[in-house]
Amino acid sequence: MKIGILTSGGDCPGLNAVIRGAVLKGIAIHGHEFVGFLDGWRGVVGGDIIGIPRTLVRGIAKEGGTILGTSRTNPFENGGGPDVIRDHMERLGIDAIIAIGGEGTLAAAKRLTDAGLKIVGVPKTVDNDLEATDYSFGFDTAVQIATEAIDRLRTTAESHHRCMIAEVMGRHVGWIALHAGMAAGAHAILIPEQKVSIDRITQWVKEAHTRGRAPLVVVAEGFVPEHMETPHSERGLDTFGRPRLGGIADQLAPELEARTGIETRATILGHIQRGGVPSALDRVLATRLGMAAVDSVVGGLWGTMVALNGTGIEHVGFQEALAQLKVVPQKRYDEAAVLFG
Ligand code: F6P
């Protein structure tokens, strides 16, 4: 078989390990041939491919990013759609597609599979917000990077007797904030799933300060304080009508400083969390998912994605995989909150 691979949506550490896992298993066990679509669905819609011989994947499990490039292109726009893609696949002799991507990618893959195309998926989300998989690769690396950054913020905060607010990724869910915040010993963790009042946050900061600590607040970018309605990350303009710069941490810092009297600084970690070398855990998970995606193709399991369930890899229908976001359960937040203040 000739299999096309694409990586789509925001990148994250581990994408190359998925590609390598699929290609090595596909060639060694089944004698498959592999090609890569360039820049996600853009390459699929444009029929833009490169060959992926075994030599191309040599040593790439440890490389961040994706050797195929990525984009947020919608395959149904810009002259795309199932007929165009089917024509390209026939012309190029491609029998099946492995689509590596997040919610948007898998939703598009579902629509294309419903139209008869042979596609299987590999879940990718640094935010870890897909319910159907216990963990997604890239998440462990992001948590590691965020934890190290927060540890560094702590030492400078302590020297200056300041409060620090670290903003981490997480548009809709707070998994990175929860894990990095717990690991780094944050005095408050703020996530989109939990409405917390500014009074409560002020109280946590003051309590930590009273005990002689430099208060550390970890906030997910999608957090909305009780007195706000729209997530800061979705606001186009700031309060002065200027294009929004910075994030929720920038907004909280002056507010907390005014309420606590403690000098407060904000740091937004941003795309640093998605860059660079994947952790060993992410490399292993990504490699296993890539290998399992080849099993999906061999088994003709179109319209399914591979997922981690406990320690095993299983195949889950796109429908089920997309049913809901994996939010931080109340129990997990309450558990972490015991340590706040
Ligand atoms: O969905 C993953 C994610 O990293 C979010 O946490 C973040 O809001 C978004 O992607 C950033 O997207 P972009 O790389 O397109 O700016």
Task: Confirm or reject: Cβ of 171 under 6 Å from ligand 1.
Answer: yes
**Ligand 1 neighbourhood includes 126 CB (under 6 angstroms):** yes
Residue 162: Cβ-neighbour burial (10 angstroms; 0-12, 13-18, 19+): middle
Per-residue DSSP letters for 172-229?
S--HHHHHHHHHHT-SEEE-TT----HHHHHHHHHHHHHTT---EEEEETT---TT--
Residue 274 CA: which ligand 1 atom is closest?
4
Q: Does the beta carbon of 161 lie inside 6 Å of ligand 1?
A: no
Residue 129 CA to residue 326 CA, distance in Å, equals 5
- DSSP-derived 3-state class of residue 260: helix
Ligand 1 atom at minimal distance to the Cα of residue 9: 15
CA distance 246 to 252: 11
> Could you read off the pLDDT of 263-313 as tens digits, one per residue?
999 999 999 999 999 999 999 999 999 999 999 999 999 999 999 999 999
Q: Residues 11, 39, 127, 282: which is the catalytic one?
A: 127
pLDDT of residue 227: 76
| Atom of ligand 1 lying closest to residue 273 CA | 4
Q: What angle do CA 153, 128, 18 make, to 5 degrees?
A: 105
Residue 239: predicted pLDDT: 45
pLDDT digits (tens, 9 = 90+) for 230-273: 655 555 554 455 555 668 999 999 999 999 999 999 999 999 99
Say if ligand 1 is within 6 A of residue 290 CB.
no
CA of 24 to the centre of ligand 1 (A): 30
The pLDDT > 70 percentage for the chain reads: 94
Determine which residue's CA is closest to atom 13 belonging to ligand 1: 10
pLDDT for position 243: 56
**Best residue for ligand 1 mutational test, from 8, 70, 127, 191 (most atoms within 8 Å of Cβ):** 127
What DSSP string describes 73-86? --TTSTT-SHHHHH
Helix (H) or strand (E) holding 280: helix 280-298
Q: Point out the ligand 1 atom lying closest to the alpha carbon of residue 72.
A: 15
What are the Cα distances from residue 310, in Å, to 101, 177, 222, 337? 21, 22, 28, 26
- Across 140-160, average pLDDT: 98
Digit-coded pLDDT (tens) for 36-75? 999 999 999 999 999 999 999 999 999 999 999 999 999 9
Our answer to whether residue 114 is catalytic in this structure is: no
Find the 286 Cα to ligand 1 centroid distance in Å.
19
The pLDDT value given to residue 236: 58
Domains of the chain: 2-137+278-322 (3.40.50.450), 140-274 (3.40.50.460)
Global ipTM: 0.92
Say yes or no: CB of residue 127 within 6 Å of ligand 1: yes
Q: Indicate the average pLDDT of the chain.
A: 94
